[in-house]
């Protein structure tokens, strides 16, 4: 591992920075402002969830259209555009006072952050690292985990002193610092050097490179994509309404967020372990089981009332989250090749973004009907278990490709 990191440090760091920067468009970050936004614009849970879903759905649609640009343009140029746009949107959030402009800002944040800045490093890793894709993904996504662990604490402090609007300036400053560093790292072209495998030889099923049209017509894509949606749908909904969870459980917010780093530690640990396991055993051996910890974590949060429950629940949710990230970075190039990976990966990214829109919207509507949030969490757990069974059947019908 140490030799691998040393030999590939330049490109691993570039991917780490992109994943880290994606945080400004992620649900966990935007959800920190949920109460302030709802209060400022006088929105119910359902209305705010609907606005968030509308912006995110537009983002999912945009990913289908623009996700393939990385197949046609240099990664460095695409990254510059995304960073500049994301910084501009953070500025827009500071000065926006129109409820009609809010969905547009949410759309932009979700498209640039959760969409493109997760998509670009995933495509790059799929092309650059050959049979070490799992290992490279597990290291790179640590960038996202670092942001996920530190931003809630940092933002809570900043918001206290400057208010929720001007705290978005923090995002602008961070992006301005990272962009020139990233451009320098991407200044040298990278070929797949990790095992001397050229991108053109990284084929998928049937020993060929698949086009996006062929992928859409293959049963495997749908059989895997639908269960994979369980993580973005349920984890996004969970963190989007975590303030509501704190309220109904009568937990102290400071105590709750002080336990949050356990989630990050669990996620990073799962990232590193699952990356090693996937490279060693194959993604098909890991895929059927990755949702089981999530189902356990949701059950724990549904029935539990103590801070020990928060601790245990975060451990199980983190395991699934970390494993899901390595699976997403390895499954698609392994089974459909790398020649058209940008356009193919955009299908997965778009469906993931769609899932993150669906979760907050559905839960918001259900909450407006006064249905218990504990019951909602239990339902999420049951669906996660059903998805595990579905993935087990699916992967038993295809070869184990590494």
Task: Write the pLDDT tens digit of every residue in 107-121.
Answer: 999 999 988 998 899
Q: Which residues of 65-86 are buried (b: 16+ CB within 10 A; e: fewer)?
A: ebbbbbbeeebeebbeebbeeb
CA dihedral (273, 274, 277, 279) in degrees, to 10, reads: -120
CA pair distance 17, 39, nearest whole angstrom: 33
Using the predicted structure, report yes or no on whether residue 70 has a pLDDT greater than 90.
Answer: no
Using the predicted structure, report yes or no on whether residue 71 has a pLDDT greater than 80.
Answer: no
What pLDDT score was predicted for residue 193?
A: 46
On whether the CB atoms of residues 326 and 274 are closer than 8 A, the answer is: yes
CA pair distance 33, 245, nearest whole angstrom: 15
On whether the CB atoms of residues 29 and 80 are closer than 8 A, the answer is: no
Ranked by mean pLDDT, which of 10-19, 60-69, 246-255 comes out on top? 10-19
Put simply, whether the predicted model's pTM sits higher than 0.85 gets the answer no
What pLDDT score was predicted for residue 281?
A: 85
Q: Enter the tokens of residue 56.
A: 């995110």
Across the range 223-230, mean pLDDT stands at 88
Cβ neighbors of 208 (< 8 A, separation 6 or more) are: 337
Task: Write the pLDDT tens digit of every residue in 239-255.
Answer: 888 878 988 999 987 78
CA pair distance 308, 297, nearest whole angstrom: 12
CA pair distance 256, 146, nearest whole angstrom: 18
The DSSP call for residue 200 is G
The DSSP call for residue 357 is H
Using the predicted structure, report yes or no on whether residue 65 has a pLDDT greater than 90.
Answer: no
What pLDDT score was predicted for residue 387?
A: 93
What pLDDT score was predicted for residue 313?
A: 94
Average pLDDT, the chain: 85
What pLDDT score was predicted for residue 391?
A: 93
Across the range 90-98, mean pLDDT stands at 93
What pLDDT score was predicted for residue 198?
A: 47
Residue 109's CB is within 10 A of a number of other CB atoms, namely 27
- pLDDT band at residue 24 using 50, 70 and 90 as cut-offs: very high
**Weakest-pLDDT range from 113-127, 303-317, 332-346:** 332-346
What pLDDT score was predicted for residue 194?
A: 42
Q: Enter the tokens of residue 399.
A: 């070869």
**Domain map (residue ranges) of the chain:** 2-395
- pLDDT band at residue 201 using 50, 70 and 90 as cut-offs: low
CA pair distance 11, 23, nearest whole angstrom: 19
Q: What is the 3-state secondary structure (H, E, C) of 140-154?
A: HCHHHHHHHHHHHHH
Task: Write the pLDDT tens digit of every residue in 164-174.
Answer: 999 999 999 99
Across the range 359-377, mean pLDDT stands at 88
Q: What CATH number labels 2-395?
A: 1.20.1250.20
- pLDDT band at residue 86 using 50, 70 and 90 as cut-offs: very high
Across the range 168-192, mean pLDDT stands at 87
**Weakest-pLDDT range from 37-41, 223-227, 323-327, 354-358:** 354-358
Residue 90: HSE in the Cβ half-sphere, 13 Å Cα cutoff: 26
- pLDDT band at residue 190 using 50, 70 and 90 as cut-offs: low
CA pair distance 39, 174, nearest whole angstrom: 27
What pLDDT score was predicted for residue 314?
A: 94
Dihedral sign for Cα 85, 90, 95, 101, please. Answer: positive
CA pair distance 35, 42, nearest whole angstrom: 10
Using the predicted structure, report yes or no on whether residue 62 has a pLDDT greater than 60.
Answer: yes
- pLDDT band at residue 402 using 50, 70 and 90 as cut-offs: low
Across the range 52-77, mean pLDDT stands at 83
Dihedral sign for Cα 338, 339, 342, 347, please. Answer: negative
State the Cα angle at 290 between 115 and 298, rounded to 5°. Answer: 85
Which percentage of the chain shows pLDDT scores above 70? 95
CA dihedral (88, 91, 93, 98) in degrees, to 10, reads: -90
Using the predicted structure, report yes or no on whether residue 380 has a pLDDT greater than 60.
Answer: yes
Across the range 10-37, mean pLDDT stands at 90
On whether the CB atoms of residues 115 and 348 are closer than 8 A, the answer is: no
- pLDDT band at residue 196 using 50, 70 and 90 as cut-offs: very low
CA pair distance 133, 327, nearest whole angstrom: 10
CA pair distance 40, 96, nearest whole angstrom: 11
Q: Enter the tokens of residue 277.
A: 């396991």
Using the predicted structure, report yes or no on whether residue 136 has a pLDDT greater than 50.
Answer: yes
What pLDDT score was predicted for residue 184?
A: 92
Q: Alpha carbon 274 to chain centroid distance?
A: 16
Using the predicted structure, report yes or no on whether residue 176 has a pLDDT greater than 70.
Answer: yes
Of residues 292 and 336, more confidently modeled = 292
């Amino acid at each position: 591992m140490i030799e691998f990191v040393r030999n590939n440090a330049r490109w691993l760091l570039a991917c780490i920075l992109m994943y880290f920067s994606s945080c400004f468009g992620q649900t966990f970050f935007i959800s920190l402002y949920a109460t302030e936004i709802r209060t400022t614009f006088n929105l119910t849970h359902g209305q705010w969830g609907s606005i968030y879903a509308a912006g995110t759905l537009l983002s999912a649609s945009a990913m289908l259209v623009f996700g393939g640009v990385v197949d046609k343009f240099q990664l460095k140029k695409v990254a510059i555009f995304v960073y500049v746009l994301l910084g501009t949107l953070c500025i827009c959030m500071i000065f926006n006072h129109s409820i009609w402009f809010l969905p547009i800002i949410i759309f932009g944040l979700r498209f640039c952050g959760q969409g493109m800045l997760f998509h670009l490093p995933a495509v790059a890793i799929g092309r650059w690292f050959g049979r070490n894709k799992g290992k490279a993904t597990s290291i790179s996504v640590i960038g996202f985990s670092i942001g996920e662990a530190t931003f809630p604490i940092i933002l809570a402090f900043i918001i206290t002193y400057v208010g929720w609007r001007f705290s978005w300036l923090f995002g602008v400053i961070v992006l301005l610092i990272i962009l020139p560093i990233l451009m320098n790292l991407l200044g040298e072209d990278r070929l797949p050097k990790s095992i001397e495998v050229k991108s053109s030889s990284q084929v998928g099923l049937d020993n060929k490179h698949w086009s996006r049209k062929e992928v859409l017509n293959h049963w495997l894509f749908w059989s895997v994509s639908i269960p994979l949606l369980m993580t973005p749908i349920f984890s996004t909904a969970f963190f989007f309404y975590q303030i509501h969870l704190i309220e109904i459980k009568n937990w102290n917010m400071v105590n709750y967020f002080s336990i949050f780093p356990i989630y990050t530690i669990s996620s990073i640990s799962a990232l590193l372990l699952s990356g090693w396991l996937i490279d060693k055993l194959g993604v098909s051996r890991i895929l059927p089981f990755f949702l089981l910890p999530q189902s356990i974590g949701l059950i724990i949060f549904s029935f539990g009332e103590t801070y020990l429950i928060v601790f245990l629940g975060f451990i199980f949710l983190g395991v699934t989250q970390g494993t899901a990230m390595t699976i997403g970075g390895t499954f698609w190039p392994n089974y459909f090749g790398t020649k058209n990976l940008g356009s193919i990966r955009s299908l997965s990214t778009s469906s993931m973004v769609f899932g993150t829109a669906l979760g907050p919207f559905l839960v918001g509507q259900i909450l407006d009907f006064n249905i218990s949030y504990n019951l909602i969490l239990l339902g999420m757990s049951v669906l996660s278990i059903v998805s595990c069974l579905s993935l087990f059947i699916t992967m038993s019908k295809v070869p184990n490709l590494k």
